[in-house]
Amino acid sequence: MPTGVALRDVRTQLFDAAERVLLRDGAGALTSRAVTTEAGCAKGVLHRHFADFDAFLAELVLDRVSRISALASALRASAGTGTAVRHLTDALTDLFTPAAVAMVGLITFRDGLRARLRAAGQRGLPILTQATAMVVDYLVAERELGRIAPDADIDTLALTLIGTGHLLFTGGDEGPPDAAAVRKVVTSVVSGVLTGAGPR
């Protein structure tokens, strides 16, 4: 008799199961057995599709990193409309979901995972690195449109927004910060470089 349930999309179901375990039980509880149990399948299913557990986790992180591309495209397209503070507030809120925050913690928790990600061409701390690039791209676009001061240090602004945003979203046991708290951080970081071109 077969063990577990049939998986229509093995990767997706295993990735989603791993994310649930990570969110519920933390990085220390994330094992191949925990993932396959959560997915309702035999343990061997994971090892048939991935060389080992760190290879599985690296693919999970890369899958989640790829989702930042859609967020980055939407943020870049918003340049020149609305307000920079609103766009950045929304982007940080969309970026730092509980799953994304937990994934950053997982990367720092597992040496083997970081090695696999470096071997896959990832530099810095994946998710935060791509998020910083996303904000840089947006701020450059706003600067080109005259809504950010021409002498603004875009790289430092982006690092400050992502670093502070990450701390803000990981700092409380009561859950993610509300929009007002995120907006306050964004305003404090970028208000000095906003020009009079367009609404703030």
Q: DSSP assignment of 95-127, as one string?
A: H--HHHHHHHHHHHH-HHHHHHHHHTT--SSTT
Given a cut of 80, whether residue 192 has pLDDT beyond it is yes
Answer whether residue 68 shows pLDDT above 80.
yes
Q: Which residues contact 185 (CB under 8 A, 6 or more apart)?
A: 92, 161, 164, 165, 168
Q: Are residues 111 and 189 in the same domain?
A: yes
Nearest to 127 by CA among 102, 164, 110, 150: 102
CATH code assigned at 98: 1.10.357
Q: Are 27 and 63 in contact (CB under 8 A)?
A: no
Two tokens at 26? 């933390």
Q: How confident is the model at residue 4 (pLDDT cuts 50, 70, 90)?
A: very low
**28 and 126 housed in the same domain:** no
| 94 and 18 within one domain | no
- Residue 1 has a pLDDT of 33
Same domain for 183 and 158: yes
Q: Compute the C-alpha angle 162/67/30, nearest 5°.
A: 85
One-letter amino acid for residue 158 of the chain: A
Give the DSSP H or E segment for 59: helix 53-66
Q: Count how many domains the chain has.
A: 2
pLDDT at 163: 96
Structure tokens at 170: 């990981």
pLDDT number for residue 9: 85
Residues 137-188: tens digit of each pLDDT: 999 999 999 999 999 999 999 999 999 999 999 976 677 899 999 999 999 9
Using the predicted structure, report yes or no on whether residue 7 has a pLDDT greater than 90. no
Q: Give me the domain span that covers residue 36.
A: 10-49
pLDDT attached to residue 198: 55
Supply the pLDDT for residue 136.
Answer: 98
Residue 130, beta-bridge partner list: none
The average confidence (pLDDT) of the chain is: 91
Amino acid in the structure at residue 70: A
Q: What is the mean pLDDT of residues 11-26?
A: 94
* Phi–psi pair at 106, nearest 5 degrees: -60, -45
Are both 93 and 183 inside the same structural domain?
yes
